[in-house]
Amino acid sequence: MNRAPLIFLGIFFALAFSWTGIVLTNQIAYGKLEPVFDEGENKSFPEALPGLAAQGKLVYQDLGCIYCHTQQVRRPGYGGDIDRGWGERQSVARDYIRERRVLLGTMRTGPDLRNIGARQAGDAGREWHIRHMYDPEITSKDSIMPKYKFLFETRKIVGEPSTKAVQRLLPASAQPAAGYEIVLTDRGNALIEYLLSLKDSYTYPEEATRVYVEPKKEQKAGASSEAAKPEAHK
């Protein structure tokens, strides 16, 4: 008996069913999502990444930050993300619609970074990232994150010291020799701009009306195994 037609139909329906469930269903549910224009702020949300931050995203990918950090805040009752200060609300599909490559991540060796730009913001946030990248233990005692000193350059001062020198932010043990200064490389500067841009603080219409349902108690088991402090192990 020739079973080739039967095998062909089996493979065809398996692929068709998978495509419908994974691609078509998600396209119908999320494909028409668009940015929301806020007349009060006169701009659309989510905002597009500025150019330097977009370059920093490539550095983030290149360095493999996604292997230790997620970018997705879970809803209340499904983990302690909001209690830890990792976001003011859960992440929603609309947060990611401007991203060609979404870096959700699957491991949380370090804290979630979806709103690190809100937790470490402005000039103070930039200085925090400089210290943290140079040596994570400067900002987070006992951090297991590796040092990223290769994102800095120690160079001889020629003429006047650079206005971009960062050694003033570092402890005495990290100060360069007399006549030298420490500056961020272009990659380091772009990466920090990207991290500063990560903040989902805008509340979309669908999120404003969302009703959260607490899970059953047994579904909360295991939540305590994650990092307890927001930036402790970044």
Asked whether residue 231 carries a pLDDT value surpassing 70, the answer given is no
The answer to whether position 228 is within a domain reads no
b (16+ CB within 10 A) / e for 167-203: beebeeebeeeeeebbbbeebbbbbbbbbbbbbbebe
Mean pLDDT, residues 56-68 taken together: 96
Q: State how far the Cα of 214 lies from the Cα of 216, in Å rounded to an integer.
A: 7
Nearest to 193 by CA among 117, 99, 124: 117
Judged against a pLDDT cut of 50, whether residue 225 lies above it is answered with no
| 114 located within any domain | yes
Mean pLDDT over 28-32 rounds to 82
User: How buried is 122 (Cβ within 10 angstroms: 0-12 exposed, 13-18 middle, 19+ buried)?
Assistant: exposed
In the structure encoding, which two tokens stand for residue 199, read together? 């903040």
CA distance 120 to 132: 11
Is the pLDDT confidence value at 230 over 70?
A: no
Task: Select the more confidently predicted residue: 140 or 228.
Answer: 140
pLDDT beyond 80 at 16:
yes
CA–CA separation, 11 and 24 (whole Å): 18
In a domain, 233, yes or no: no
Whether residue 1 lies inside any domain: the answer is: no
Q: Would residue 182 be called left, alpha or beta, if left means φ above 0 and alpha means ψ between -120 and 50 degrees?
A: beta
- The domain tally of the chain equals 1
In whole angstroms, give the CA distance from residue 36 to residue 120: 25
> Which two structure tokens, joined as six digits, stand for 144?
């297991």
The DSSP code for 186 is: H
pLDDT at 133: 97
Position 226 scores a pLDDT of 47
3-state secondary structure of 20: helix
- pLDDT band for 228, please (50, 70, 90 cuts): very low
Q: What is the pLDDT of residue 221?
A: 52
The angle subtended at Cα 37 by Cα 204 and Cα 99, nearest 5°, is 70
Domain membership of residue 197 as a residue range:
31-144+187-203
Give the model confidence (pLDDT) of 132-189 as tens digits.
999 999 999 999 999 999 999 999 999 999 999 999 999 999 999 999 999 999 999 9
Mean pLDDT across 1-13: 87
Position 210 in a domain: no
CATH number at residue 139: 1.10.760.10
The stretch 206-218 carries a mean pLDDT of 71
Give the residue ranges of DSSP H helices in 135-201: 136-139, 186-197
Residue 84 located in a structural domain: yes
The residue with tokens 């990223």 is 148
Domain-located, residue 60: yes
Reported as a single tens digit per residue, the pLDDT across 72-112 is 999 888 888 999 999 988 999 999 999 999 999 989 999 99
Does 171 fall in a domain? no
pLDDT (mean) for 63-79: 92
